[in-house]
Structures are given as structure tokens and as C-alpha cells.
Amino acid sequence: MIGAPFVPSFAALVFFFFNFQLAHVAPQGEVCNSSPACGDVLNIQYPFHLQSDPNNNCTKFPEFQLNCENNQTLLNLQFLKSENYYPWSSVYTRIYLVDEILYHKNLIRIVDPGLQRGNCSSSPLFSNFSDKLYSSAYTLESIGNGIIFVGCSSPVKNDTDYISTSPCLNGSSSVPYSYVLLEKTVSDLHRNCNVVRSSPRSAKGILNHTYPEVHQALLSGFYLRWGDPYVKECPRPFHSSHCFLKLLADVFRQVLGKSFRDPFSKFSLSLLGFISNCP
């Protein structure tokens, strides 16, 4: 019976602590607090910003810079080539289209620029995330083996896992038969087939195993999770005040979901301003 009065007491304690910290926050201007838009991506907020944003504070986070070209929002991601032993000479950049940013979940949905709506003959420009992301700001949210494009020297028969891409995509002269596999590994391949490219698990589920539906799923993109640039290391939960605040924010985000972000957006920005000035 102790638990019932404890809940409001704890909430009151948290409220008092937050308000105490807010009395010592830095000015909101020290936080990237612009809300520009580009194409279908509206109200771009912290930690993301457009390259053309006049707010100089936004440049503190180069990993979260977005570009707006031809009314499309673009994200530059840097990768390390897995076969190169010299990181400083093996960094390369991929440019993805941004379709959606879920601030309350710390997720951004990106799409391969090689894909075109209404054209099932278009295919991903980039292969899977076999190369490591250069920045620790992002991690691939989807798990599993995703979508594998394979080319085969002879037709695959009596195996429903192999979804033909014809007539949208055709094979080459050496591997004239083209298929996609869902949630499979290289070890599942037939001997006469080779991997052409692969893509992470799509944001949209695939119900009917036909290539037009697979293509629509590819167009939905995939999710990356980002970390808060102000809170990079918290070796112990209460190592410092900003780690304690981050811990409480994560708890509220898990419990309240989206409703946590919307009513407290200004509060969160003020809170981040305080965090950036913590020792």
C-alpha cells in the first residue's frame, strides 16, 4: 500500500528538480531552435537543421545537417569501407532522401535515392550497411536480414522464397534470372545464384510476395535511430546532472510516448541548453 502515495510524491520530486534546473538554464538561443521545412519534411527541429539555416547555433551538430535540393530533404551519411585498414583514407559519403523524422522516438526514415515512385525498374543505388557508419550519432534501427537481390544462372524452381523481379528487373548476360529474397542470409542461396545487392529491412511490411509490393516497401525506406548530441556519455546514471536529466527524460518518453515531446518541446530545448553548459 506504500506504492500509491509514492507515485505522486515522486512526480512532485521530479517536477521540483526540473524547475530547479530550469532556473539555471542557458538562454534558448544557445540551442538550435529553428523550424524550417523542405518538401514534405515540415517543422525541422533539434537536433536537425538545414544547411541554409541562418541560426549559427545549428552548426554545432554537423552530423545532423540536412540539405534541401529540388524540394527534397537530403541526409549525408559517412561510412567506413570494411575492407580498408586505414580509416582516414576509407571514409565515403552516401546521400539519402529523408521522408520522415519522428522526434519523440529519435528515429529518422530515409530512402535510397536510386528508387523512383511509379517505376518498378528502379533499384537501390546503395547496398546494405555492411560498411560501418563513420559517425556514432546514428544506428540502424531495423534488425534482420532485409531484402537481398540475387542473380541466378538458371531459373529457380519450386522455391517460393525466390520472388521474381521480372518484368521490372531483368538479370545480366551471365546471371539472366533475377530474384529477391526476404529475411534470408547468403547461406540460403542456391548454388547457381549470387548476391547482387541488399537493402535493410523496410519500414513497411510486405504481405504479398510480389516484386511490385517489394518495390513499394523499398520506397518506404528504413529507420535510423539517433543519439542526443548533448548527452554523449553517461558512464553512471547519476554521474552528473545532465545524465540524471537524460535518464528521467528517457523514462517519461517510454511511459508517455509521443505525448511527452509535444507539450514539453520548449521545455526540452531549455533543458538541452542547460545540459550543454554542464561540466
Q: Residue 159: inside a domain, yes or no? A: no
Q: What is the pLDDT of residues 234-267, one digit of tens each?
A: 544 444 454 555 556 655 555 555 444 443 444 4
CB count within 10 Å of CB 144 equals 10
Q: Check whether residue 25 and residue 114 sit in a common domain.
A: no
C-alpha cell at 136: 556514432
Q: Check whether residue 7 and residue 65 sit in a common domain.
A: no
Q: Check whether residue 26 and residue 40 sit in a common domain.
A: no
pLDDT of residue 61: 80
Residue with the larger pLDDT of the pair 33 and 2: 33
d(CA 239, CA 34): 31
pLDDT of residue 23: 40
Q: Which domain holds residue 252?
A: 1-30+238-279
**Of 181, 208, 209, 211, the residue nearest 193 (C-alpha):** 181
Q: Which residues contact 163 (CB under 8 A, 6 or more apart)?
A: 179, 180, 181, 182, 209, 210, 211, 214
100, pLDDT greater than 90:
yes
First-residue to last-residue Cα distance in the chain: 40
Q: Residue 55: inside a domain, yes or no? A: yes
Q: Which of 44-48, 112-116, 126-130 has the highest mean pLDDT?
A: 112-116
Q: Check whether residue 9 and residue 53 sit in a common domain.
A: no
Q: Check whether residue 16 and residue 43 sit in a common domain.
A: no
110, pLDDT greater than 90:
yes
121, pLDDT greater than 90:
yes
Q: Residue 137: inside a domain, yes or no? A: yes
Q: Residue 185: inside a domain, yes or no? A: no
Domain end among 212, 229, 246: 229
Residues 138 and 79 sit within 8 Å (Cβ to Cβ): no
Q: For the whole model, what pTM was predicted?
A: 0.70
DSSP for 172-191, please give it: -SSS-EEEEEES--GGGS-T
d(CA 53, CA 44): 10
The Cα diameter of the chain in Å comes to: 75
Q: Check whether residue 76 and residue 119 sit in a common domain.
A: yes
Residues 219 and 211 sit within 8 Å (Cβ to Cβ): no
106, pLDDT greater than 90:
yes
pLDDT of residue 179: 95
Query: What stretch of H or E contains 73?
Result: strand 72-80
Q: Check whether residue 5 and residue 85 sit in a common domain.
A: no
DSSP for 208-272, please give it: S--HHHHHHHHHT-EEEEE--TT----SSTTSSHHHHHHHHHHHHHHHHTHHHHTTTHHHHHHHH
Query: What stretch of H or E contains 100?
Result: strand 91-102
Angstrom distances, CA of residue 168 to CA of 51, 58, 105, 160, 254: 37, 43, 35, 18, 42
Q: Check whether residue 8 and residue 54 sit in a common domain.
A: no
Q: What is the pLDDT of residues 208-231, one digit of tens each?
A: 889 999 999 999 999 999 987 766
**Of 240, 30, 68, 222, the residue nearest 138 (C-alpha):** 222
Q: What is the pLDDT of residues 148-199, one digit of tens each?
A: 999 999 999 999 999 999 999 988 888 899 999 998 888 889 999 999 988 9
Q: What is the pLDDT of residues 59-92, one digit of tens each?
A: 668 889 999 999 999 999 988 876 655 555 588 8
Q: Which residues contact 13 (CB under 8 A, 6 or more apart)?
A: none
Q: Residue 39: inside a domain, yes or no? A: yes
Count of domains forming the chain: 2
Q: Check whether residue 25 and residue 38 sit in a common domain.
A: no
pLDDT of residue 68: 93
pLDDT of residue 130: 66
pLDDT of residue 252: 58
Q: Check whether residue 50 and residue 136 sit in a common domain.
A: yes
What is the average pLDDT value for the chain, to the nearest integer? 75
Q: Check whether residue 54 and residue 133 sit in a common domain.
A: yes
- Rounded (10°) CA dihedral 195, 199, 200, 205: -110
Q: Residue 66: inside a domain, yes or no? A: yes
Q: Residue 149: inside a domain, yes or no? A: no
Q: Check whether residue 42 and residue 26 sit in a common domain.
A: no
Angstrom distances, CA of residue 169 to CA of 11, 165, 166, 175, 177: 58, 5, 5, 12, 9
Residue with the larger pLDDT of the pair 102 and 29: 102
